[in-house]
């Protein structure tokens, strides 16, 4: 009975060893367990007896895995193979007639890249006054982007509405109704260069704009992108169309150049500056130029709640008949980031 128990124990140990990854060191020592990763020229193996052990690749003479592992080459290609040994500075792979050079090995079991997520904010504003001045106002804006490894999608939308009540007639009079939104897609050509397509719509009752539409393509360049500051510029061409609410006023449309820049800078972990300008000078008549500039300070009140103050300048050199060229808006909002 004692011999049967011993044989069973040896068989169990043998089965366990066979089912494990194995690293043979240059001095002949053998480590068994599970190879977790290899990065920066060092292999980490999880041993049942020793825990996680990190060994330089230069100290390893042989390597075998029990199951397939993910192998990332220096150029970024990903393979899934079982390693069956090392020979002359190469990894021998199961089922491959050619070996993988250690010089071309970037990582073993590289970390999974997280799926791109939408980030941004939803902001609300509101005002109610009663007495000498009767006013009611509300606003909503959404700003969101989703950045992947090779592209970026951005979306924004806003709505502003306001009325004043005449003290004599008690009739509510509209003094703001403005709705707009934009969509932009960037495709990264390199670390700094990207191609883009963009479209934007706007309706503004008080500016007599039934619909302003711009849509075009171009190229962008990221000058700075670090933990605190991002600065990028964009240049391209865009179709510009503007129709008016007043009957009989002819709409305008033309091919415009599009020039834009955007600066984001963190003053601290809670507060940042966002400033951007987008201009559409006509290629047919330089006097037909539209420009919008926005400067915003955003600060975090809690982990998800934010507050912001923004100044928005809209400048239309050829506005609707009887309307001002320049509109200035100051917005105070409370919102939530995601």
Set out the domains of the chain in order of their start, with CATH numbers.
2-108 (no CATH), 118-337 (2.40.160.40)
Q: What are phi and psi of 281, to 5 degrees?
A: -80, 135
- Mean pLDDT, residues 71-96: 89
Banded model confidence at residue 44, pLDDT cuts 50, 70, 90: very high
Which DSSP category does 57 fall into? Answer: G
Q: Among 246, 264, 242, which Cα is nearest to 314's? A: 242
Read off the pLDDT of residues 225-245 as tens digits, 9 standing for 90 and up: 999 999 999 999 999 999 999
Q: What is the pLDDT of residue 112?
A: 82
Average pLDDT over residues 288-314: 96
What are 240-297's pLDDT values in tens digits? 999 999 998 999 999 999 999 999 999 999 999 999 999 999 999 989 999 999 999 9
Please give the DSSP secondary-structure letter assigned to residue 251.
P
Per-residue confidence (pLDDT) for residue 326, from 0 to 100: 94
Query: What is residue 47's predicted lDDT score, i.e. its pLDDT?
Result: 87
DSSP tag of 282? B
Residue 16 clears pLDDT 70, i.e. is over it: no
pLDDT at 3 over 50: no
What was the pLDDT predicted at 243?
A: 96
Closest Cα to residue 32, out of 11, 15, 56?
15
Coil, strand, or helix at residue 62?
strand
Q: Which pLDDT band, with edges at 50, 70 and 90, does 18 fall under?
A: low
pLDDT on residue 111: 86
Q: Which of 185, 184, 266, 259 is CA-nearest to residue 225?
A: 266
Average pLDDT, whole number, for the chain?
A: 91
pLDDT band at 133 (very low <50, low <70, confident <90, very high): confident
In 3-state terms, what secondary structure has residue 8?
helix
Q: CA–CA distance from 181 to each of 206, 214, 317 (Å)?
A: 18, 11, 21
CA of residue 311 relative to chain centroid, distance? 24
Report the predicted TM-score, pTM, of the whole model to 2 decimal places. 0.73
């Amino acid at each position: 009975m004692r011999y049967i128990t011993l044989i069973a124990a040896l068989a169990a140990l043998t089965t366990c060893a066979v089912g494990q990854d194995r690293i043979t060191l240059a001095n002949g020592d053998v480590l068994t367990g599970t190879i977790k990763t290899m990065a920066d020229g060092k292999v980490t193996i999880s041993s049942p007896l020793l825990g996680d052990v990190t060994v330089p690749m230069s100290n390893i003479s042989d390597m075998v895995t029990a199951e397939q592992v993910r192998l990332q080459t220096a150029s970024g290609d990903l393979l899934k193979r079982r390693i069956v040994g090392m020979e002359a500075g190469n990894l021998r792979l199961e089922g491959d007639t050619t070996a993988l050079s250690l010089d071309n090995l970037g990582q073993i079991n590289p970390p999974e890249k997280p799926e791109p997520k939408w980030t941004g904010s939803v902001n609300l504003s509101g005002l109610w006054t009663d007495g000498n001045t009767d006013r009611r106002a509300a606003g909503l804006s959404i700003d969101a982007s989703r950045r992947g490894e090779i592209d970026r999608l951005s979306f924004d939308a806003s709505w502003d509405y306001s009325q004043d009540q005449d003290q004599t007639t008690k009739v509510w009079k509209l003094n703001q109704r403005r709705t707009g939104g934009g969509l932009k897609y960037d495709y990264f050509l390199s670390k700094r260069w990207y191609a883009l397509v963009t479209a934007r719509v706007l309706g503004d009752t008080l500016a007599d704009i039934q619909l302003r539409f711009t849509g075009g393509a171009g190229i962008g360049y990221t000058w700075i992108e670090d933990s605190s500051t991002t600065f990028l510029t964009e240049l391209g061409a865009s179709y510009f169309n503007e129709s008016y609410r007043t009957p009989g006023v002819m709409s305008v449309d033309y091919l415009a150049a599009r020039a834009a820049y955007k600066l984001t800078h963190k003053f601290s972990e809670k507060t940042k500056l966002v400033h951007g300008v987008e201009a559409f000078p006509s290629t047919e008549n330089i006097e037909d130029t539209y420009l919008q500039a926005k400067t915003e300070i955003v600060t975090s009140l809690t982990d998800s709640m934010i507050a912001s103050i923004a100044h928005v300048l809209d400048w239309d050199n050829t506005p609707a008949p009887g309307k001002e060229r320049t509109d200035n808006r100051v917005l105070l909002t409370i919102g939530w980031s995601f």
